[in-house]
Amino acid sequence: MPSTIIDSAIFGNIFSSAAMRKVFSDENRTQKYLDIEAALARVQARLGIIPAEAADEIVKNCTLDRIDMTQDITDTATMLQIREALALVDDDLQAISRSMANLAQRHRDTPMVGRSNLQQAVPLTFGYKIAGLLSAIERHRARLAELRPRVLVGEFAGAVGTLASIQKGALETQAGLMQELGLGQPDIAWHTQRDRIAEVGCFLGLVTGTLGKLATDVKLMMQTEVAEVYEPFAPGRGSSSTMPQKRNPIASCYIHACASVVRQHAAALLDAMIADHERSTGPWEIEWISLPEAFLLSAGALGQARSIVGGLEVDVEHMRANLDMTHGLVVSEAVMMGLAPYLGREHAHDLVYDLCRKAIDEKRPLLDLLAETPEITRHVDRKQLQTLCDPANYLGLSGSMVDRVLASVSRPEDSSKGPAPKRVAGR
C-alpha cells in the first residue's frame, strides 16, 4: 500500500508525474544495473579481456539475483536515471517557455499595475511581467545544457578509485563502458566528490524557485480584490466544498508545496558532499533519499506550471480598472518627472507629494487637483496633464524589453547545444 504522497493514488499526479516515477522506480534502477553489467561484458569481450562466449553468457544471465551492487554500479545507474529525468525536465521547460513566450507577445502592450511591497507602484505591462519569468526559464534551459556534459559522467574505478583490481586494459575498459552507456569518462574516481549530484539538486532548486515565484504572483493576482488572472478553468477544480463562489489557485498551491520541499532536498544534497576519505560513512546515502524525491516533486511543480501558463486566463479590463482605482496616484512619478523641467525635480516631487496626500484625504482624482494648482497650470494645461496621468503613457521600455527576451528564446533543438546566442531586438 503506498504511504507517501508521491506514490499515492490520490495525490501522486498532483505532486509528481507517472513518467518521473518510472525513472526512479526500483524496476528502472535495476534495469540500469543490468544495462551496465551487460555493457561492461561487451566492452571486455571487445578488448579481449574475457572471451566473447563469456560475454554472451553474462549478458544472458544479467538478472537481479546475480548483480553485484557495488558503488560504481550504483553511481553509474544514478547517472543514467538523472539523464532520463533531465530529459523530462527539459521537455517541461520547453513547453513552459513556449507558453510564456505566447503570453508575453500577446500582452506586450497590456498595461497593468506594477507592485512594490504589495502596494501599487508604477505601471508596466503584463507582457513585461511574464517576460521576466520567461527570461529565468531560459536561463534554466541554458544551465541544463551546460551542466549535462559536466554532470553526466559515469563511475568505474574499484574500491578506492584506483582501478588496481583490473590487471589489463583498465582505462580502455572504463572508456569503452562509458561510450556504450553514452556517459562521460571520469578523469578520476568521484566516489566522495559528489559535486555533480549536488549541482543537479541545486539546479532543481533554482527551477522550482522560479516556478514558486510564478505561483506566488498568480495567487496574488487571483485574489477577489485583484482579479487580474485566473488559473485555467476545469469543472470542480479549485472550488470550495462549502462556498460555491470560490475559485482557488489550487495549482499554484501545489507548486508552492513542491518548491518548498525541493529546496530542502537541495540543501541535503549539498550536505552529502561532505564525505570522509575515499568511501564515506553515511553522506552518500543522503542522495538515495533526496535525489529521487527532488526530481519527483520538481516534475509535479513543472506539470502544474505547464498547465497554468498554457491556459492562463487574463482579465485585461480588470487590469486597467486596477490601474485607475487610485484616480491617478499610480502615475504620480510620471507627473513629477513631467513637471520637473518647469519646477525643478525636488520642488516638483514635494508639490506632487502634497497633492497626492490631498487626493487621498479628499478622495478626489489627482488630475483635478493638478489642474487647480496655478503653479502647475502656468506651465502645462489640463490636456497635457491628462496625458501625464494616463498610465498607458508611462510604461517605460516595457515593450522593448519584452522584445529582447522573446528574441533570445532558444528553439527546442538548441537545448542540447548550450545556451542560445543572445539577439537583441527593439521596436
Instruction: Name 119's Cβ contacts closer than 8 Å, sequence gap at least 6.
Output: none
Largest CA distance in the chain: 101
- Cβ-based burial of 97 (10 A; exposed 0-12, middle 13-18, buried ≥19): buried
279 is an active site residue? yes
Assign residue 56 a region: left if phi > 0, alpha if psi is -120 to 50, beta otherwise?
A: alpha
If we measure between CA atoms, which residue out of 155, 199, 218 comes closest to residue 294? 199
Phi, psi of 324 (to 5 degrees): -90, -10
The DSSP string of 87-153 is HHHHHHHHHHHHHHHHHHHHTTT-EEEEEETTEEEEEEEHHHHHHHHHHHHHHHHHHHHHHHHHH-B
From 66, 240, 345, 411, active-site residue: 240
Grid cell 532536498 — which residue? 265
Pairing of β 229-230 and β 313-314: antiparallel
What is the spatial distance between Cα 372 and Cα 47, in angstroms, rounded to a whole number?
A: 93
Question: What span, in angstroms and rounded, lies between the C-alpha atoms of 228 and 308?
Answer: 14
- Please name the residues in contact with 154: beta carbons below 8 A apart, sequence gap of 6 or more: 75, 76, 79, 177, 178, 181, 183, 184, 185, 186
Determine whether 239 is an active site residue: no
- Residues 119, 396: contact at Cβ < 8 Å? no
CA atoms of 165 and 170, how far apart (whole Å): 9
List the grid coordinates of 10: 490520490
Amino acid making up residue 75: D
**Catalytic residue chosen out of the listed positions 279, 357, 411, 423:** 279
Query: For the residues of 158-197, what is the DSSP string, one character each?
Result: -SSSS-TT--S-HHHHHHHHHHHHT-BPPSS--TT--HHH
DSSP state of 230: E
Residues annotated as part of the active site: 240, 279
